[in-house]
Amino acid sequence: MTTESAVTTESATARPVRPYGDTTGDGMVQVSFTLPVPYGPRADDAARQLAAKMGIDAALVAHSRPVGDGYTFFVLYGAVRHAVDLAEVVDRSQDYPRLGTAEIDSAVRRALRRELVVVGACIGTDAHTVGIDAILNIKGFAGEKGLEYYRSLRVVNLGAQVEIAALVERACAERADAVLVSQVVTQRDTHIANVRGMSEAFRARLGEQRPVLVAGGPRFDAVTAADLGVDRVFGRGTTPTEVVSYLVHAVTKRMAAIP
């Protein structure tokens, strides 16, 4: 191991760790927020005081501008006092194998002896289909084909603004093995309420015989799956291969558990 790689490895595993700005461990961060204060020196001072209460020392207002009557948007730069002990960080590494196309088709044929049925939708008032389409449509995302590409899968994409009751009915009619819901709109935690409502509706209708439930969107955190009542949560940057590999893993595991 070279001296340079040794230093890199040591830095990556050091405890505790702080943000890096100009020098290692200097704690420098950049944050942005909006305050309901008219643009001007008084607003800048309010932003600096808020930053200090957030634990950011000697915060510099790097940028501020009015964003409507009585509101100001800020970008601040400063050093945080806090550090993170990596020993307390939860390992969220993928706990299922990432499969290739042939492996996916073969696993589904062995376990199900039929197509794996996936129903997807944007639920509630959410009309943003870019995410669900990137995962389901054959064109895919990030150089990976979407779920429609796989011969062993049958995909039903219901599109946007699908009511939860309608989703449950269609999933039952299609005898879905898995249901994927995408949520981009997050105002007042709408995404959380929608996913919880969806989970409760499936459990009320099907009990333990419900499909594998998956939620995805840029504001979701993987550790919230149990709290939301779903089997898996995927966040920003998720690719189709990650999703289809998980679905095959989860559905085949369920099938293996059936006497």
Catalytic residues: 139
Given a contact cutoff of 8 angstroms between Cβ atoms, the answer to whether 79 and 24 are in contact is no
C-alpha–C-alpha distance, residues 43 and 38, integer Å: 6
| The 232-234 sheet, strands edge to edge | 153-157, 116-122, 178-182, 212-216, 232-234
CA pseudo-torsion sign 188, 191, 194, 196 = negative
Q: Which of 145, 167, 137 is nearest to 245 (CA)?
A: 145
Q: Which of 225, 35, 51, 195 is nearest to 124 (CA)?
A: 195
19-24 contact pairs (CB < 8 A, 24+): 19/80, 21/79
